[in-house]
């Protein structure tokens, strides 16, 4: 009798925690769909997690994240998106090349995007103020920045007569932005051309073409693959002595000449915050698409001196940051 009573007590002690665990609510899961690699996007991922924390969520504590990285191979994105849908994640976040693919993959799971494209013009949302459907997010308005970047670069190299735009041909948003920037440049530069690079080898070839054709200045159009190759691009620009404009500060920190645009880390913070709000019950259709309100001009003075460039007092006054 005593032995049977002991077994019953042990069995009850073991069973109780199992029942308690079964009653705990399921932890929400975020599907993080991205065309780049985790190494390339480490600083922006930190911004995303900061935004989540601001909304009350910490990975591993009260939310989990399923990461899907395409490593610059955009043709992998449809399968990665389908996998997240099959797993019934609570929310999907997606960046520029992944956004239309995520939208096509599900009309039910909420989607929070960060894109350099115009989300209204490309049919992602009905309007910026009332997106509609299951999708909202942040737009970097890269197409609008193109003309401003061209003007700033022109001020730094006023004697230069030719300019090129480097874009990734596999990213439709990048190609559109390059085309719009080219139109803006044609009124002030004698020669304007668009060069394509979607692989490491094509990057080398693009810079060799610029050297052969004596291109005097370059604008790197935002793209996930190109962001991931920023160190290589900065090194090539230095090797061929091409004054180059970028959109993100990270390029200037890596030795690039100059950048003008919003902080990508801060935009990912906004994506994290919106994701947390949706996990708490907010309707993505009613969350307005956010736009940057602050744009920073950053110039690497050491690189400018290496290229033999002198910053005018007017341009220096416009700088938000000068890297020495």
pLDDT of residue 1: 43
Assign 154 to helix, strand or coil: helix
User: Which two structure tokens, joined as six digits, stand for 141?
Assistant: 């308005």
Q: Tell me which residue of 208, 190, 96 sits closest to 143, measured CA to CA.
A: 96
Q: If you search the block for the tokens 């920045």, which residue do you land on? A: 145
Rg (CA), the chain: 24
d(CA 183, CA 222): 17
User: Chunked in runs of 10, what are the mean pLDDT values of the chain (324 residues)?
Assistant: 43 43 72 92 93 98 97 93 98 94 97 92 92 94 82 92 92 80 81 92 95 94 89 96 95 96 93 98 96 92 96 93 94
Beta strands 258-261 and 244-246: pairing type?
A: parallel
The residues facing 116 across adjacent strands are none
CA distance 93 to 136: 10
Q: Is 263 helix (H, G, I), strand (E, B) or coil?
A: coil
pLDDT given for residue 25 in this prediction: 63
Predicted local confidence at residue 15, as pLDDT: 42
> pTM score, two decimals?
0.84
Please name which of 255, 190, 184, 272 lies closest in space to residue 221, comparing C-alpha atoms.
Answer: 184
Q: Are 85 and 70 in contact (CB under 8 A)?
A: no
Nearest to 165 by CA among 173, 157, 174, 155: 174
Sign of the dihedral defined by the CA atoms of residues 149, 155, 157, 163, in that order: positive
Domains located in the chain, CATH noted: 29-140+264-286 (3.40.50.2300), 142-261+295-323 (3.40.50.2300)
pLDDT score at 9: 41
**Three-state DSSP state, 38:** coil
């Amino acid at each position: 009798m005593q032995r049977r009573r002991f077994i019953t007590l042990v069995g009850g002690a073991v069973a109780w925690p199992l029942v308690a665990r079964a009653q705990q609510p399921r932890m929400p899961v975020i599907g993080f769909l991205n065309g780049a690699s985790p190494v390339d996007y480490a600083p922006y991922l930190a911004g995303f997690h900061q935004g989540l924390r601001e909304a009350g969520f910490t990975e591993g504590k009260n939310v989990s994240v399923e990461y899907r990285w395409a490593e610059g191979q955009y043709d992998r994105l449809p399968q990665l998106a389908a996998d997240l849908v099959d797993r019934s994640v609570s929310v999907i976040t997606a960046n520029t090349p992944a956004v239309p693919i995520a939208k096509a993959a599900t009309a039910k799971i909420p989607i929070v995007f960060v894109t350099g494209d115009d989300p209204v013009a490309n049919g992602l949302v009905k309007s910026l103020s009332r997106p509609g459907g299951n999708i909202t997010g942040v737009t970097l308005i890269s197409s609008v920045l193109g003309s401003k970047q061209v003007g700033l670069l022109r001020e730094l190299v006023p004697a230069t007569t030719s300019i090129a735009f480097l874009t990734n041909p596999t990213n439709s948003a990048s190609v559109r932005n390059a085309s719009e920037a080219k139109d803006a440049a044609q009124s002030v530069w004698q020669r304007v051309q668009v060069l394509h690079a979607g692989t490491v080898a094509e990057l080398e070839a693009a810079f060799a073409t610029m050297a052969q054709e004596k291109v005097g200045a370059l604008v790197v159009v935002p793209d996930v693959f190109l962001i991931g190759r920023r160190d290589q691009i900065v090194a090539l620009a230095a090797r061929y002595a091409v004054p180059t404009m970028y959109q993100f500060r990270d390029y200037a920190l890596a030795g690039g000449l100059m950048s003008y645009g919003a902080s990508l880390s801060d935009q990912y913070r906004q994506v994290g915050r919106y994701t947390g709000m949706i996990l708490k019950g907010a309707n993505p259709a009613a969350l307005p698409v956010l736009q940057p309100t602050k744009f920073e001009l950053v110039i690497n003075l050491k690189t400018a001196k290496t290229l033999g460039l002198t910053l005018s007092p007017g341009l220096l006054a416009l700088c938000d940051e000068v890297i020495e």
